[in-house]
Amino acid sequence: MRYCKQICHRCGAEADSLRASWFNVHMLCQDCRAEESAHPLYEHARRTEFAKTQTGNYRFEGIGLPEDLQRKYFTR
């Protein structure tokens, strides 16, 4: 049994590795990252984050989770 599994902040699935979301500070499993990269706001989120780091704002927390994803995961 492995005990180093991590839990995805968004869908709650166990994952071998988590990566940071582009939309907010969540750590995501592969499935959620794939879902983000297919989202219409993904490019916007990446561009915004890039622009912020260019101005020295490394604490930028993202543009926020798009409403449709929020509804999907956080309102039951």
Give the residues lining the site for Zn ion (CB under 5 A).
8, 10-11, 13, 29, 32
Nearer to Zn ion, 11 or 63 (CB): 11
Nearer to Zn ion, 4 or 56 (CB): 4
DSSP 3-state of 4: coil
Residue 15 Cβ, how far from Zn ion at the closest point, in Å? 7
Nearer to Zn ion, 32 or 41 (CB): 32
Tokens for 20? 């940071």
DSSP 3-state of 19: strand
Tokens for 42? 């993904």
Among 20, 11, 14, smallest CA distance to 61 is for 20
Strand partners, 6: 15
Residue nearest to Zn ion (CB): 8
Residue 7 Cβ, how far from Zn ion at the closest point, in Å? 9
